[in-house]
A = this chain, B = another copy of it.
Amino acid sequence: MVVLGVDPGITHLGLGVIQVEGGRGALKAFLLHGEVVETSSKEGAANRVGRIYERVRAALEAHAPEALAVEEQYFYRQNELAYKVGWALGAVLVAAHQRGVPVFAYGPMQVKQALVGHGHAPKEAVALAVRGALGLKEAPKPSHLADALAIALTHAFYARLSAAKPL
């Protein structure tokens, strides 16, 4: 199974594509592609979102994932931020819809549960689990890419249990 994980953001959007190995044991996957799309408030909203769309679309075309997974976002007293992160996710959703790729979303506790085994694991434990599952010598960087890969692996975990969570 190929999964595209997305860490949504308007200044930094992480994209990670993994190929998940079959079998019922520990989750094993390898990294097919990782990038962080960076945009600036100087370039205008449509340009920012249009560029995000193009990168997501390119990743979908190059790797033909069977699922796209995003982390659910929680915003506390940050409406402005929520709105702009929403723009970025809108572009992701347009690209997924055009390619017919189903979209899934998991909350931070579900990520921790899937990758570490309990919902209150520290961030470092998640990073270690991502590194282990992907067989990497070092933790993926930057953090936006690590988050995108974590969410892709999380989808693989729940899909294997027939507990995938459509957005």
Give residues in A with beta carbon < 8 Å to B. 44-50, 53, 73-80, 82-94, 96-98, 101-103, 166-167
Contact = CB atoms under 8 A, between A and B. Distances in A.
Main secondary structure of the interface of A (DSSP, over half): helix
Count this chain's copies in the assembly. Answer: 2
A81 to B, nearest CB: 9
Contacts of A46: 93-94, 96-97, 101-103, 167
B44 A166 contact: yes
A61 to B, nearest CB: 16
Nearest to A89: B87
Contacts of A82: 75, 79-80, 82-83, 86
Contacts of A75: 79, 82-83
